[in-house]
Homo-oligomer: A and B are copies of this chain.
Amino acid sequence: MEHDYPFLRACRRRPVDRVPVWLMRQAGRYMPEYRALREKHSILELCGTPELAAEVTLQPINRFDLDAAIIFADILLPLEGLGVGFHFAAGEGPVIEKPVRTPEDADAVRPFDPTVGLGHVLEAIKIVRRELEGRVPLIGFAGAPFTLASYMIEGGSSKNYLLMKSFMYQHPEAWDRLMRVIREVTRDYLAAQIEAGAQAIQLFDSWVGCLSPEDYREFVLPHSAWVLEGLAGYDVPRIHFGTNTATLLEAMKQAGGEVIGVDWRLPIDRAREIIGPDFAVQGNLDPVTLMAPRELLVERVKRVLERADAKNGYIFNLGHGVLPPTPMENVDTVIETVHGYGRR
């Protein structure tokens, strides 16, 4: 029942009793119960085993007064089905086994059916929905085509995105074909998550902030828009998120969705000004603020709330994921401060 959930109401810019809050990477290494599971299982084992993925998804919900759960998964999961294997190297992040470096490599990337290849995520969604028993809504998500393509071409994380941008400039047709394959899988994957029970979805275009606005419009926007448009028929809010997007917000809102997620690099009031009244906004506390002393943390959370016009189409979140050394009491402080906002 959407009308009962502050998170879903805020996504639709409907009145809320309290400002909703969830945190990107709210299930993660800062929680002892997560670390305990990680001692026994790799990330990919956790993602690949529906019962475990469901358990991790629920860990922060059982501990904190959060307004939404987000399915535990990794944005790179679709790469395997796309024929581009990857693994996590110790302390190094993801490593793509056969990076896409030529038009021929790109043309070898083929779409697949995520209801088969990623059935374990869909199964985890069903378990979580059952176990949540309606306590909070569940968010599904996927990496946006650009961010997936970047990983596939760079072979992992990148400092200056030299290989990805070079590919884009040198082989614009092959880039376009690659993005069309990825976008199809991304749309199908998100649609399947909705059909499995996700009550909202977030499209993570985490690395898009490395682009100039003109490159974004030319090489990325049409594909993100295609994914979001392809989900418009479902009655679930679509969150479109990236970091470092201060100069891309006008283009990102053209790509569609109900909610735009922003990082901490621009004040949230300025973000709302740019994004305009037709979208809800999610963000934008710097995750490192959770390492600050309580007094400073509370002050910063309140400042975001005051600037955000927080009772009006706004969801509190960080500007990026919770960092591993974050003290858990500071997560509580953030949530309490958000929920206390505007109350007597």
Q: How far is the CA of A214 from the CA of B213 in the complex (A)?
A: 24
Q: How far is the CA of A324 from the CA of B159 in the complex (A)?
A: 13
Q: Separation in Å of the A175 CB from the closest CB of chain B?
A: 12
* Contacts of A145-173 to chain B: CB distance below 8 A: 157, 159-162, 165-166, 169-170
The secondary-structure label for the interface of chain A is loop
A289 touches B214 (CB 8 A): no
Q: Separation in Å of the A293 CB from the closest CB of chain B?
A: 6
A214 touches B267 (CB 8 A): yes
Q: How many residues of A contact B (CB 8 A)?
A: 35
Q: Which residues of B have CB within 8 Å of A288?
A: 160-162, 165-166, 169
* A212 in the interface (beta carbon within 8 A): yes
Q: Which residues of B have CB within 8 Å of A325?
A: 162
Pick from B161, B246, B293, B296: contact of A247, CB under 8 Å: B246
Residue of B whose beta carbon sits closest to that of A264: B212
* A209 in the interface (beta carbon within 8 A): yes
Q: Separation in Å of the A321 CB from the closest CB of chain B?
A: 9
Q: How far is the CA of A59 from the CA of B267 in the complex (A)?
A: 44
Q: Which residues of B have CB within 8 Å of A303?
A: 214
The contact string, 1 if C-beta is below 8 Å from chain B, for chain A 245-289, is: 011000000000000000011110010000000000000001111
* A107 in the interface (beta carbon within 8 A): no
Pick from B215, B247, B287, B296: contact of A286, CB under 8 Å: B215
B160 touches A287 (CB 8 A): yes
Q: Separation in Å of the A240 CB from the closest CB of chain B?
A: 18
Interface residues of A, Cβ cutoff 8 Å to B = 157, 159-162, 165-166, 169-170, 209, 211-215, 244, 246-247, 264-267, 270, 286-289, 291-293, 296, 303, 320, 323, 325
